[in-house]
Amino acid sequence: MSMGSPDRNHKKKITLLRSFYYAISGISSAIKTERNLRIHLTLSLLVIFLGFAFSITRIEWLIVILVLGGMLCAELINTAIERVVDLATEEYHPLAKQAKDIAAGAVLLFAVTSVVVGIVIFVPRILSILSF
């Protein structure tokens, strides 16, 4: 005799691989539909290229990886919030606008932080090449 509820048993049947599939599907969907995410991915590739080109240190790589990962996560969370708000209401509502604006503000704040990190890591190297 099963002690668990049908809902609980159903949840147990979802495998770890299926969970990864859903996550990858979500990322793929966001890449296809979100221009800003594609921009962040393109800039991430540029930063990775620069990291190799300038032979940044291990610590700098860790910082760059954290910043790039954080930026992409912030953009995905922002997208998810926008979708949920759009699902909840099609009409204008001040709280819906506020939720979307706050999520977008979080992305902007992380983007500015990322740029500052990039400046600190890469500008001295660029200037040393330009000054010979």
> Which residues are designated catalytic?
75
The rounded distance, in Å, linking the Cα atoms of 28 and 22 is: 10
Q: Is 91 helix (H, G, I), strand (E, B) or coil?
A: coil
- Residue 14 backbone phi and psi in degrees, to 5: -75, 120
Q: Is 67 helix (H, G, I), strand (E, B) or coil?
A: helix
Calculate the alpha carbon distances from 87 to 1, 9, 100 in Å: 40, 28, 13
What residue type is 50 in one-letter code? L
